[in-house]
Amino acid sequence: MTVKLTPRLKENLNKMGISELTDILSYYPYRYEVIEYIPYKDWKIDDKIIIEATIIDKPKINYYRRNQSVLYLNVVNEDDYFRVTIFNRHWLMNLEINKKITIIGTYEGNNKILASNINTQPLAEQIGIKPYYSLNKGIRENTFLRLVEQVIEKYENKIVDFIPETIRKENNYLSKKEAIKQIHRPDTQKSLFNAINTLKYEEFLKFNLIMAKRKSDAFIEDLNFIKEFDMDKIIEFISSLPFKLTDDQSKALDEILSDLKQGKQMTRLLQGDVGCGKTIVAFIAMYATVLAGKQAAIMAPTEILAKQHFNNMQKYFADYNVEIGILYSSQNLQERKETLEKIKNKEISLIVGTHSLFQEGVEFNKLGLVVTDEQHRFGVKQRQSFLLKGDYVDMLLMSATPIPRTLATTLYGDLDVTTISQTPYSNKKIHTVLIKQNSFISKIKEIEDLLDQKNQMYVVCPAIEKGSENVRNVNDIFVNLKKHYQGRYSVGLLHGQLDNEQKQIVEKQFLNGAIDILVCTTVIEVGIDVKNANIMVIYDANRFGLSQLHQLRGRIGRGKKEGYCFLLTSSKEDEVIEKLNVIVNNNDGFIISHYDLKLRGPGDILGYRQSGLPAFVLGNIIKDSEILNKSYNDAKKIIKDLINYPLIDEYLKQSENEGVLIS
Ligand code: ADP
Ligand code: MG
């Protein structure tokens, strides 16, 4: 059978991304409508109906605006007359009197039908589930449906199965041929569901196979990755810490240290809720690297956080013979020059910094480990450029937005995942209250009592200065609070536009308790650790994402005392209130990030919007996480045993040559 295309149709198909006829097979419908035959006597208003009828007089048409039309038809079916209305189908004017047509639409009562489709095929062929395709303007629905029909008929026997037969049988997946047929022309709702599931699985499997293959390829041994260090010295360091590691921290550390000893590159994501104590785990891994005679660097997304890491390191390593250096962009030039020199000749072995760590001019000397803190704040490219700084660099990525393992692998590529799920003070609570008013006046007494007990407070605003949007800004709030609390509490101001010297002074004052109330923007969102800060007020809380609010709130209750967080909003919208209540009712970052992923999608919350998340046609990495998980596990098994899957092997080789992630 040959399928003939007019040049115009061809051009329109091209515009839809269809260049070969076989592309139509994977041009799936975007929705379906179930069309059931109901006899006229049973029709109720708003019923979806289908009826065969004969045209009894010439159609009438009215044009309004440009290219917009409404067409009226009078038809008869046995003894019943109907008046049919349909929009934007001017070509139906060609229908002649006495022509038999099939009408699909909605019953409006009084023998009136609002049609969505009018055609000349017999009714019997059209009952069932009707697919809808997103079509280019120049293509008529019926033309495309016929084309799909023809293409399936022509190619169905050439469709080969990609999913291995054993997996297919175990899970009742359809054959690819059947799945393609059912997704375009479903027999039943069940077979449609199976077809979609099958094709989603295949899509995810292809992706996970490529990932698993890359990982197994990366497993090439290279002795240069091996770090030998004295475990006794690590244990000694751990026992010198002012606290005991939690079980989860120890477990995470074990995994990381054993990676470091191996002759292959480590790419590990260490994830865990705010305050679970990831930093110290990273520091210990860095120390091990230094003991093995290599340099270790930690990269933080903000200067404040970098400096905090630097200060902590200096404390922890005070009695150890390790030199620590810091690099950040606003650093004084002389200091930077000296630090660079020391890094180059290895006088410094532990290096802390912002992204300026991997700028030109930074020359490491046997860099062995790079830790990226709050890794979702960095782009993929930024992280990779770090790897170019040394040949045998292990990577440890840290994130406080815990997500399911498979999702992490899908988003970040072929990495291993370690999750810390307990926090050191897990019995300690943060009380979160939603105030439906953009002011904390109703809680002022409670807050002042807490301040009087020597607790410090963050007051977070979405804006720095008054702008066109009606949100609170730090400048105004700072002035007001300062005036109001003069002589009683000291108030400080912190935001990204202050100059560095000012920032440093304020940070220091807040850290040593000279400032009671810090009015700030989200500059404090990541990492900041001030033990006595136990109160937080967030103005216009609806302006922030859920994960962001959770991160912000993670700044308080970090010592032994309980934390108090007040979310302020003047919004009355149900959706907003519901969203903020997720924060009020949950302290678990895992649950919160799950809500957030559902609400905003992974690109947004993980900072991956611009960086090429794999695009799946059918599969949704959040909603279809079960299928995603399954394909992930299956892919790992298949890769081990590739020789038994010649088709998959061939596919992987092809993808490699073409450099594609998904096809
Ligand atoms: P995050 O995982 O959010 O980066 P941090 O590493 O900043 O968390 O740790 C939060 C706080 O908990 C820090 O003040 C840190 O010193 C402290 N901490 C870390 N581990 C422990 C522990 N095992 N016991 C008590 N406190 C700890
Ligand atoms: Mg941290």
Q: Which of 381, 399, 417 is the last residue of a domain?
A: 399
pLDDT of residue 428: 62
Alpha-helical (H) ranges within 430-545 are 444-452, 474-484, 500-511
Q: What is each CA distance from 4 to 20, 25, 145, 151, 154, in whole angstroms?
A: 13, 16, 14, 10, 12
Query: 445 and 337, same structural domain?
Result: no
- Residues 379 and 607 sit within 8 Å (Cβ to Cβ): yes
pLDDT of residue 662: 40
Q: Please, which residues have CB within 8 angstroms of residue 96's CB and are 6 or more apart in sequence?
A: 55
Q: Which ligand is nearest to the CA of 375?
A: 2
Phi first, then psi: give them for residue 109, nearest 5 degrees. Answer: 90, 165
Query: 544 and 442, same structural domain?
Result: yes
Strand, coil or helix: 404 = coil
Write down the pTM of the prediction. 0.68
Q: Which of 544, 564, 586 is the last residue of a domain?
A: 586
Helix, strand, coil percentages, rounded to 5, for the chain: 45, 20, 35
Q: Where residue 469 sits, what CATH number does that domain have?
A: 3.40.50.300
Q: What is each CA distance from 605 to 410, 461, 597, 619, in whole angstroms?
A: 15, 20, 7, 19
- Residues 552 and 538 sit within 8 Å (Cβ to Cβ): yes
pLDDT one-digit tens code per residue, 471-491? 999 999 999 999 999 999 999
Mutate to test the pocket of ligand 1, among 253, 280, 526 (most ligand atoms within 8 A of CB): 280
Q: Which of 93, 108, 126 is the last residue of a domain?
A: 126
**Where are the extended beta strands (E) located within 226-366?**
267-272, 295-299, 324-327, 350-353
**How far, rounded to the nearest angstrom, does the alpha carbon of residue 340 sit from its chain's CA centroid?**
36
Query: 546 and 493, same structural domain?
Result: yes
Q: How many residues does the structure list for the chain? A: 663
Query: 376 and 253, same structural domain?
Result: yes
Mutate to test the pocket of ligand 1, among 239, 307, 529, 590 (most ligand atoms within 8 A of CB): 529
For the CA of 246, the nearest atom of ligand 1: 23
Helix axes 589-600, 546-553, angle to 10 degrees: 150
Q: How many domains are there within the chain?
A: 3
Give the residue, by CA position, lying nearest to ligand 1 atom 17: 277
Q: Where residue 51 sits, what CATH number does that domain have?
A: 2.40.50.140
From ligand 1's centre to the CA of 243, what distance in Å? 9
- Residues 235 and 284 sit within 8 Å (Cβ to Cβ): no
Q: What is each CA distance from 630 to 20, 625, 634, 661, in whole angstroms?
A: 32, 8, 6, 19
Spatial CA neighbour of 176 closest among 155, 147, 146: 155
Query: 437 and 393, same structural domain?
Result: no
Q: For the chain, how many helices (H) and strands (E)? A: 21, 21
Q: Which ligand is nearest to the CA of 377?
A: 2
- Structural tokens at position 89: 């189908």
From ligand 1's centre to the CA of 533, what distance in Å? 15
Query: 320 and 447, same structural domain?
Result: no
Give the residue, by CA position, lying nearest to ligand 1 atom 14: 529
Spatial CA neighbour of 146 closest among 127, 120, 124: 120
Mutate to test the pocket of ligand 1, among 558, 560, 590 (most ligand atoms within 8 A of CB): 558
Give the residue, by CA position, lying nearest to ligand 1 atom 12: 277
Query: 357 and 240, same structural domain?
Result: yes
Query: 378 and 477, same structural domain?
Result: no
Residue 341 lies in a domain: yes
- Residues 567 and 583 sit within 8 Å (Cβ to Cβ): yes
- Per DSSP, what are the bridge partners of residue 457? 517, 535
Region label for 266, one of left (φ > 0), alpha (ψ between -120 and 50) or beta (otherwise): beta
pLDDT of residue 376: 66
Alpha-helical (H) ranges within 498-573 are 500-511, 546-553
For the CA of 373, the nearest atom of ligand 1: 4
Using 50 as the pLDDT threshold, list the residues of the chain that sit under it. 605, 607-612, 660-663
Residue 425 lies in a domain: no
Give the residue, by CA position, lying nearest to ligand 1 atom 5: 277
From ligand 1's centre to the CA of 58, what distance in Å? 80
Residue 179 lies in a domain: no
Alpha-helical (H) ranges within 57-175 are 141-155, 165-170
Query: 373 and 490, same structural domain?
Result: no
Q: Please, which residues have CB within 8 angstroms of residue 262's CB and are 6 or more apart in sequence?
A: 225, 226
**Residue 132, Cβ density class (10 Å: 0-12 exposed, 13-18 middle, ≥19 buried):** middle
Residue 189 lies in a domain: no
Give the residue, by CA position, lying nearest to ligand 1 atom 19: 277
Pocket of ligand 1 (CB under 6 A): 243-246, 249, 272, 274-280, 400, 424, 527, 529, 558
Residue 636 lies in a domain: no
Residue 406 lies in a domain: no
Q: What is the DSSP string of 162-221?
A: -S-HHHHHHTTPPPHHHHHHHHHS-SSHHHHHHHHHHHHHHHHHHHHHHHHHHHHHTT--
Q: Which ligand is nearest to the CA of 527?
A: 2
Query: 486 and 392, same structural domain?
Result: no
Residue 421 lies in a domain: no
- Residues 197 and 173 sit within 8 Å (Cβ to Cβ): yes
Strand, coil or helix: 403 = coil
Calculate ∠ Cα 501-531-314, nearest 5°.
60
pLDDT of residue 379: 57
Q: Sign of torsion, CA 83 86 90 95?
A: negative
- Residues 372 and 397 sit within 8 Å (Cβ to Cβ): yes
From ligand 2's centre to the CA of 272, what distance in Å? 9
Spatial CA neighbour of 538 closest among 477, 598, 591: 477
Q: What is each CA distance from 484 to 446, 488, 500, in whole angstroms?
A: 16, 9, 27
pLDDT one-digit tens code per residue, 275-322? 889 999 999 999 999 999 999 999 998 888 899 999 999 999 999 999
For the CA of 559, the nearest atom of ligand 1: 14
| Domain span at 250 | 227-261+276-399
Query: 364 and 447, same structural domain?
Result: no
Query: 64 and 103, same structural domain?
Result: yes
pLDDT of residue 193: 94
- Structural tokens at position 438: 């953009």
CA–CA dist 340, 326 (Å, integer): 9
CA–CA dist 606, 377 (Å, integer): 8
Give the residue, by CA position, lying nearest to ligand 1 atom 10: 275
**Where are the extended beta strands (E) located within 382-523?**
394-399, 416-420, 430-435, 456-460, 491-494, 517-520
For the CA of 272, the nearest atom of ligand 1: 2
From ligand 2's centre to the CA of 575, what distance in Å? 30
Residue 423 lies in a domain: no
